[in-house]
Structure 1
Amino acid sequence: MEIHFIFIVPAAALILDTLFGDPKCLPHPVRLIGRALDRYEASARRVGIDLRAAGWGAVILLPAAAWSVAEFLMAIPYLGLLIAVYLAYAGLALGCLAREAYRVAALLDTGDLPGARAALSMLVSRDTSTLTPDEVRRTLAETVSENLNDGLVAPLFYLVLLGPGGMWAYKTVSTMDSMWGYRTERFRDLGRGAAKADDLLAWIPARITAWVMILVGWRRGLDHAAARANLARDAARVESPNAGWPMAAAAWLLNGQMGGKAVYFGEIKDKPVLGPAGAVWDRQMVRTLIRLCKSSGHLAGWLFIAVLGCLRWAL
């Protein structure tokens, strides 16, 4: 494996994501994967095969296809390195997440609650139409902290460990879980395999994310002692084996409650409370959280490049 694919490609991707966010003017692989998943679902339903089997088949076939396409494109003479950088860059989403989170916070601070609700609805799957200002901030804190792992740390982990092809195999599973991983009548069987696979693949990165957040929080004078003491207990309360780790770390570091009642697809779900019960997120806490997540993501990224990159190079 050439050294630039191990070190330069991930470093360039991290810098580009920080500077520019998602490449909106270029064809994004996630959109292509989304269309492929829609067609796969339609074909499975039309043929009438068992949806659970179809879901597990997709977990095997589609990530392998994504990896193969990425490897084929990166093998193009002269253009391969540029394609590798683009694929790596397109797989990271912290820059865009932070930008959109600041936008929601700014709309709320100017008194535009309907605008803040609408902007937040682009980041979450829950119903935001009736949220109060406090609930908007709490929901924003939840999605920013959870997606630090999903949008940056986990993809970058697989990018450094396996290259852009491996990263896009992971991103295919993650996208599949985002689209199919709901326990509704439509997706209960089809999305089971994707949900299990995503839980497995994100297990290590989620825990790294939480502890890096605590490390950064300690350097910034946040309540790292409370975060360390309560992290594992609170994370275990969450239905997902991974989502609770960065959320619990953020809740205790900033002393703001996460969880409680939320509406998904017309149904009220009472989510477990993380962090100090009853603590309310204010405008400064939200901005501190966004900065914390950006710093944590960057630190995790450079640690991966230094440690995992050197390990991969040595092997």
Structure 2
Amino acid sequence: MTGAWIILAAYILDRLIGDPRWIPHPVISMGKGISALERTIRKRVSSDQGLKRAGLLFPIVIAGGSLVLTWGVLYILGLVHPVVAVIAEVVLIATTIASKGLKDAGMEVYRHLKRRDWPAARRSLGMIVGRDTAHLDEPEVVRGTVETVAENIVDAIVSPLFYALIGGAPLAMAYRAVNTLDSMVGYKNEKYLHLGWASARLDDWANWIPARLTALLLITGAWFMRLNAKGAARMVRRDARLHPSPNSGFPESAVAGALGIRLGGHNVYHGVASFRAYMGDQSRVMEAEDIVRTTRLMFWSAGAFVLLCWLVTFGIWTAGGALLWK
């Protein structure tokens, strides 16, 4: 049952303190490593085919290196004392999740909206999304916030805990490296189309199971919260695969159905208009309280997944004990 305790402790630690700015975060080191590797590659490779082959180095060096380094640190700490290694693993797993940070970002936008401080709300939203926010009205600010919180339930909570359950802090840290790679080089634009393809593809694969699991957790959370669980399930079946991402549509469509709102639509990125497929039906105008409801759904889903980790671990432990007694 040690793995379940570690995951629970890591989740509680993140809920309580999040990512204090005065503590060096592993993602910063990952980002520096990615930038350094990119500079090295671009100095030596210029052709499209060469960049595509070199793109394989990012998952191998950054994600693989994160896994090996984390395992090595924990192994050495285990030689000092097993308890020291366990504490370190809790802290390391906590750095791979961001439930408090995600809630704080969403609620900052919410507080500005409740004070009717539209410029501040747009600026706060602009800190967490890539779209242009300077001219958005209140429903569009709410939409951007709800979409971001919903999508990141997978990346920031369920996926890292999923991999922590399978392989502890080393695999959770490797996942965080994959996710960081996708956010830095996984773009389908002229600059990264060839160099970042492997990172983008690996991120899609890594989130495939957690995204669908998150949709189930959100449907369950909607039922507990007395929201529209049937609507959430229906929208996942109908709309999830319309999203340009193979994974993001699952949490977004589930939230849209649970709240009875429509996500997706027209966005502007650096002055260029873009349309994203609609998720859900527009039964009403979005309001600031939808941010609060989405945040609560996020915590229901996260808590349910931590409980699921306990049940899985207990089941494995019980089955192992039964085999030993035979």
TM above 0.5, yes or no, is yes
Out of 229, 235, 249, the position equivalent to 1:230 is 235
RMSD across aligned C-alpha pairs, in angstroms? 1.7
Give the match for residue 141 of structure 1. 146
Structure 1 residue corresponding to 2:157, chosen from 132, 152, 163: 152
AA aligned opposite 2:259: L
- 1:304 aligns with one of 283, 290, 309: 309
Deviation at 1:248, TM superposition (A): 0.1
* Structure 1 residue aligned with 2:38: 41
The answer for the alignment partner of 1:265 in structure 2 is 270
Residue matched to 2:69: 69
Shift of 1:229: 1.9
Matched letter for residue 212 of structure 2 = R
> 2:235–2:256: 8 Å Cα contact kept in structure 1?
no
Q: What are the within-5 Å matches in structure 2 for residues 31-110 of structure 1?
A: 31-48=28-45, 50-75=50-75, 76=77, 77-78=80-81, 79-110=84-115
Find the counterpart in structure 1 of residue 261 from structure 2: 256
How much has 1:308 moved relative to structure 2? 4.6
**Are the equivalent residues in 2 in contact too, given 1:161–1:309 (CA < 8 A)?**
no
| d(CA) in 2 for partners of 1:230, 1:298 | 23
Q: How big is the shift at 1:191?
A: 1.5
Contact between 2:4 and 2:313, CA under 8 Å: does it hold in 1?
no
CA distance in 1: counterparts of 2:318 and 2:182, whole angstroms? 32
CA contact (8 A) 1:23 1:90 kept: no
Letter aligned with residue 230 of structure 2:
A
Deviation, 1:68, is: 0.8
Identity rate of aligned residues, in percent?
33
Q: Note closer, same or farther for the CA distance 1:183–1:267 as it changes in structure 2 (3 Å cut).
A: farther
Residue segments in structure 1 that go unaligned for 5+ positions in a row: none
TM-score, scaled to structure 2: 0.91
SS in 1 for 2:273: strand
1:185 is matched with 190
Assess if the C-alpha contact under 8 Å between 2:41 and 2:54 holds in 1: yes
CA displacement, residues 251-305 of structure 1 (integer Å, 9 cap, x when unaligned): 0100111000111233211000111137421122221111111111111122123
* Aligned: 1:200 with 2:205: yes
The CA deviation string for residues 220-256 of structure 1, in whole angstroms up to 9 with x for no partner, is 1111112212212200100111000000000010011
Show CA shifts across 1:149-181 (max 9, x none). Answer: 110000000001111000111111111001112
Deviation digits for residues 91-145 of structure 1 (CA, Å, limit 9, x no counterpart): 1101110011111110111111111111112211222222111110000000000
Q: Could you tell me whether the CA contact under 8 Å between 1:126 and 1:265 is conserved in 2? A: yes
Matches within 5 A, 1:271-310: 271-277=276-282, 279-308=284-313, 310=315
Distance in 2 (CA, whole Å) between partners of 1:65 and 1:197 is 15
Q: Distance in 2 between matches of 1:173 and 1:234?
A: 26
**SS of the residue 2:55 aligns to:** helix
Counterpart contact for 1:258–1:275, Cα < 8 Å: yes
Distance 1:205 1:312, change over 3 A: farther
Q: Deviations over 1:190-237 (max 9, x none)?
A: 211111111111111001101111111012111111221221220010
The whole-number CA distance in structure 1 between the counterparts of 2:127 and 2:210 is: 25
Using a 3 Å threshold, how does the CA distance of structure 1 residues 82 and 137 change in structure 2: closer, same or farther?
A: same
CA–CA separation in structure 2 for the residues paired with 1:110 and 1:178: 32
Equivalences, count: 312
Distance, in Å, in 1 between the alignment partners of 2:228 and 2:66 is 41
Which aligned pairs between 1:2-13 and structure 2 lie closer than 5 A? 3-4=1-2, 6-13=3-10
Q: Is the 8 A contact 2:260 2:282 kept in 1?
A: no
- What code does the residue aligned with 2:23 have? L
